Structure 1
Amino acid sequence: MHHERISLRAAMREMRALASAQVERFPAGQAEPLRFVAASGAPPEIAAAARHCAANMGNWISSVYWFHHESDRYGTARDF
């Protein structure tokens, strides 16, 4: 990522593209621990806890997104 002599609008576009790429990778990352637990032969209570944690990963990410962006905590909604 190049930071010098970039307009705010261009920087926002670049960051949005980078974030979008990470969001697209998220489902695979969320499924990976589930495959690991399924193959590990973990006790049922451990497997259930792992499934619960993996399911909550999406809640955490959406909550962080809302707090930092949709709530306009950092003034990102201003029209530049």
Structure 2
Amino acid sequence: MKTTLVLFLTAILASCASSGSSATTKRYTADTCIVGDNKLGSMGTPVTKVYGDQEVKFCCKPCVAKFEKNPSKYLAKLP
């Protein structure tokens, strides 16, 4: 019973953590990838990440890797 409860609570917490945004997170409102400038959804399901208090959306996983090498370069593009 304890194991089931722990697994259930872990699943709930994981789903909350993976949502990527909260009431204090600034939403990413552009419809293009912050790195590649591709239309979001044009290369599959967009990837959403939160950096500090900013939500950021990417067209693909390679753009996430490129962003993470120099986040300040790309975050400077936000209004």
TM-score for both structures, normalised by structure 1: 0.29
Q: Please say which structure displays the higher CA radius of gyration.
A: 1
User: Larger strand proportion, structure 1 or 2?
Assistant: 2
TM-score for both structures, normalised by structure 2: 0.29
